[in-house]
Amino acid sequence: MATIEASGRRVGTVRPDLKEALGAVGVVPARVDLVQSRAVFERDGAVIVPNTPTDPDELAIAAARTLGGRLRALTGIRPQGGTDSPALGLHSDGANVVVEVHGRRVPLREPDEDYLYMLCSSPAPSGGDSVLIDAYALVDRLAEVAPDLHGFLTRNDVDYFGGWRTPARGVPATPLVRRLVEWTRGGRRVVRASDYAAPVPREPRWDEHMAFLDEYADVLATAFECAPRFRLEAGDLLALDNYRFLHGRDAFRGTRELHVLAVRSADAW
């Protein structure tokens, strides 16, 4: 069963009884050149463009190329990586960060960023392989093998960051309430994963909802372990539909460097 760390982060436990059911939801994206990337991206929801110049500005070019006129807003390009890092489990990108500039509230990050672009400039010498899960396939399997959990994910609200015990400056204190699986008004399915999800404030079935959140964390840990791995080399640009795919990576030794751009499209709501 999942455990909760001092920070409020929920960590799932691999469930051997779920491995067979979840063994086919992992994805290795196709590798194509930038000219072909839009067609493959529209078909598969994920694509790797190799041999990309490692200038972070290439991320904005890739977003424009793959989304075209549907591109609406870009967040800032941010460096990621580090040295000798532990594994990063399955998650969906998006953060709720708001600041005030000249009396106006300005979102630096938004939880509904619907596409994600990652450009590797330097892979780790050891480890750091990527994991990608087709969350639509995952949820469909849960409807068959864990219908009660599926019902919770699709019919109940959670406080998306509610378990976070020491939120950083700029993170709104007002609970962000949403479902872990829901649909936009345009009909896109959104599958989310948050290590800090909690029952909504004053939820009368608190213990029941906590148990479902623990079970979902175990499902994600199991899917992560079963999924195939792929390696992002220097110059590999990974684009993915952040509403459809959950992603993570293995632990690594040495230094790994990449840049990340999250965007909103016209289909984000």
| pLDDT for position 110 | 84
| pLDDT for position 1 | 84
| pLDDT for position 155 | 98
| pLDDT for position 236 | 98
Taking the chain (269 residues) in runs of 10, the rounded mean pLDDT of each run is 94 96 96 95 98 97 95 92 96 91 89 94 97 98 98 98 91 93 94 97 97 98 98 98 98 97 92
Single pTM value for the model = 0.95
| pLDDT for position 40 | 97
| pLDDT for position 56 | 97
| pLDDT for position 76 | 85
| pLDDT for position 120 | 98
| pLDDT for position 150 | 98
| pLDDT for position 106 | 87
The fold of 8-262 is Double-stranded beta-helix (3.60.130)
Give the chain as a 3 state SS string: CCEECCCCCEECCCCHHHHHHHCCCECCCCECCHHHHHHHHHHHCEEEECCCCCCCCHHHHHHHHHHHHHEEEECCCEEEEEEEECCEEEECCCCCEEEEECCEEEEEECCCCCEEEEEEEECCCEECCEEEEEHHHHHHHHHHHCHHHHHHHHHCEEECCCCCCCCCCCCCCCCCEEECEEECCCCCEEECCCCCCECCCCCCCHHHHHHHHHHHHHHHHHHHHHCCCECCCCCCEEEEECCCEEEEECCEEEEEEEEEEEEEECCCC
